[in-house]
Structure 1
Amino acid sequence: MFKKLLMALTATTMMASPMVATEAQAAPHREVHQTVKQGSHGRTVTRTTVIRKDDRRDNHRRWAKGQRFDRRYANNYRVIDNYRGYRLKAPPRGYHWVRSGNDAVLVALASGIIASVITGAIR
C-alpha cells in the first residue's frame, strides 16, 4: 500500500513540475496594486500596474564570440572609427569595431558574426 502511494506521488510530481515551470515562464510579470484617495469627496481608486521582465531598463546584453550581432540589442551602439584611441587593433578586412555599452565588439560586415569581444574597453 505504501509503495503504491509513493509511486503515485512521484508520478504526480513528475507530471506537475513541467507545467508549473511553463506557467512561470509564460507570465514573466508582477502586478503592483496601489490604493489612492483623490479629491475632497474621498473617492478611492485602485490602480494596477503590470511590470514585465522585458521592460527593465538594465537590459545589458552580453555578447560572445560566434553570436550574430544585432544592433537593436546593443546599448549605445556606434561604429568605432578611431580604434587606436581605444587601444584596439586594426580590424581585419571585412570587419569593423562597434560599441555596445562599454564593450568593443569586432563584427563581420557581411554576416554580422562576432569575432571578438573586449569588455570594458570604452570608459
Structure 2
Amino acid sequence: MAQNARFALSLRVLTVLAGEPDAMHTSAAIAETLNESAVMVRRTFLLLREAGLIVQRKGPNGGAKLKVAIKQIGLGDVFNATAGEWLAVEDKALAGLMKKVRDDAVAAMNEHSLSGVVKRLKKS
C-alpha cells in the first residue's frame, strides 16, 4: 500500500475510534464501517500501536481504542506512524537537508489535530 493510502486509512481508522473513544473496536467492525479489508485495518492498527496512538487487547473482548485524546494527535504524528522513511536519501551531503525538510513538514502537519478532522467529517 502506498504511503498516502496508509496515511488516509490511518486517519479514517482513528476517526472511527474517536467516535467511541472508550470502547474497544475490532478490525472486522472497523473494516465493515469503512468498507475496507480487515487485514489492512489490522496492519494499520500495528502502525498506530507502534506509534503509541492506540492500545490493543486480544481475546473475545479485544480490539483497539485510542490511547491519546484526539486533540493531542497531530496529523504529523499520524503521518510519521505511516510514512516510513519518507524523503530519506543515501547521499550524506543531502541527508541533513532532507531530514530538516521532513521535520518541518511534520511540524506543519502537527498544527492540525485529529479533532479537526473529526469536526470536518461531521459537517459533511
TM-score under structure 2 normalisation? 0.26
Q: Which has the higher strand share?
A: 1
Q: Which has the higher helix share?
A: 2
Instruction: Compare relative contact order (CA 8 Å, sep 6+) and give the higher one, 1 or 2.
Output: 2
